Amino acid sequence: MTMKRSRYSLAVLISGSGSNLQAIIDASVEGRLPAEIGVVISNEPTAFGLERAKRAGIESRVLDHRSYPDRRSYDADLGDLVESFTPDLVVLAGFMRILSPEFIQRFTGRMLNIHPSLLPKYRGLHTHRRVLEAGDSEHGASVHFVTEELDGGPLILQARVPVKPGDDAETLAARVLSREHIIYPQVIRWMAEGRLVMGDKGAFLDGRLLEDPVDLADLELAGR
């Protein structure tokens, strides 16, 4: 006989420092997020996020992509490892690998990513530098469902920040990151509460198709 989990379970995939992982840990511990992290998985053995997991008493695994001949074979084992923890949701939190279609199909509708731009602008890498080079007046972060299109899945929630005179890529990145730490736990909470799903036409929140992503500023005005 198996025991029913009392909380919504997450598998968090990381490659680096894990600051968004920490925001999710904090939200869970403080009772702001009705979910628990069942496992943290990293493709980088030295990722500091593994230390964050250890300090929080969260089980972790390392699956080094360098040990595999190609992306497909790595993703097959990664998918098996994720599934062995039976998560309700897979959370990409700075996981710096492009996932194969086969992996994405295994977790369609239950995998989220956070990206440091106001998607669909600036997909891919080096978003802060690209925003500055373009002379944009605002920047931000987006949470979206993961599909086979890179950074192209249905958008859910965005946060905007101003680009200030004298900003460089580092100062702008720090301003965006502070917003990421708010919007990612919020979207995971919607998933855990059963309020958010991915359908054929896109993301649905409380049964309503999100033709445009929710803006954090509007949530804050409404008291979330």
Asked if 9 contacts 85 with a C-beta cutoff of 8 angstroms, the reply is yes
Asked if 150 contacts 98 with a C-beta cutoff of 8 angstroms, the reply is yes
Q: Which of 115, 128, 144, 181 is catalytic?
A: 115
**Which residues in 134-165 are b (16+ Cβ under 10 Å) and which e?**
eebeebbbbbbbbbeeebebbbbbbbebebee
Question: Catalytic site residue 181?
Answer: no
For residue 188, the Cα-to-chain-centroid distance in whole angstroms is 9
The Cα–Cα gap between 146 and 55 comes to: 29
Asked if 146 contacts 79 with a C-beta cutoff of 8 angstroms, the reply is no
Q: Annotated active-site positions, please?
A: 115
